[in-house]
Amino acid sequence: MINNKRVVVVLPAYNAEKTLKQTIQEIPSVVDACILVDDRSTDATVRLAGELGLQVHVHEQNRGYGGNQKTCYAAALDAGADIVVMVHPDYQYSPLLVEPMAAMIAHGVYDIVLGSRILGGGALRGGMPLYKYIANRALTLVENLALGAKLSEYHTGLRAYSRDLLLSLPLNANSEDFVFDNQLLAQCIYLGARIGEISCPTKYFPEASSINLRRSTVYGLGVLKTTLDCVAARAGLYRKQTFDFPPLQLKATGRSMAQAAEELP
């Protein structure tokens, strides 16, 4: 616990046998529970997770990265989490950052904290492919301009959320694929949630999960569509299901997420 807040780590897993133990060994002791959701792996991820003492949920069919996260967050909330931190079990992001990220939420500084690969300039040094780095910077520039935010990147997989924030978002309306992450972050901006970032070193190696050029292109197009949908919802032009909830504009009022959530119909 941190500041009497229960911290739960969720691990969306697919064929993570080779890196899971190393990831778990670096998760700080302040974490109250670790939940792994297996998306129909073909290796021994589930068996190893059980041996490591994790709470394990197994999908009967592969649902995709977004579908995996939906189960992760539902399971964490059911387990009484006040703070939920998503850590990829492929060891691409440092689990050591769980504690400082969770602490910023536990002490009421932010509603969501992102582990940024761009802050500190370590993305390319960590092995991020150049085309992915360029795409990351270009998409982030477009999103910041369109959404009025000033984030260093929108595409990190290391994230911490408050319970109130997760309960305030229509997560089940989001994609089951990789663009889920971007939809969720756009929803946070639309809602007016307080977003913090922390510099996060990253590692690219054969065992680390990574999508190919074709799927990266599909993801990029999905990001642009999500951005357009958010802008349209703000302008009152139309509302897709992903943005069919009232924006609370927390920054403008100085209210916390917990205070504002009480006003939702």
Q: Residue 209's pLDDT is what?
A: 57
Residue 209 belongs to some domain of the structure:
yes
Residue 188 belongs to some domain of the structure:
yes
Task: Tokens 């990029």: give the residue.
Answer: 220
62-111 confidence digits (pLDDT tens): 999 999 999 999 999 999 999 999 999 999 999 999 999 999 999 999 99
The pTM for the full model equals 0.90
Residue 20 belongs to some domain of the structure:
yes
Residue 166 belongs to some domain of the structure:
yes
Residue 152 belongs to some domain of the structure:
yes
Residue 2 belongs to some domain of the structure:
no
Number of domains forming the structure of the chain: 1
**DSSP per position, 13-78:** ESS-HHHHHHHHHTS-TT--EEEEEE-S-SSSHHHHHHHTT-EEEE-SS--HHHHHHHHHHHHHHH
Residue 124, domain extent? 7-261
pLDDT at 264 over 80: no
Residue 36 belongs to some domain of the structure:
yes
Q: The domain spanning residue 49 has which CATH number?
A: 3.90.550.10
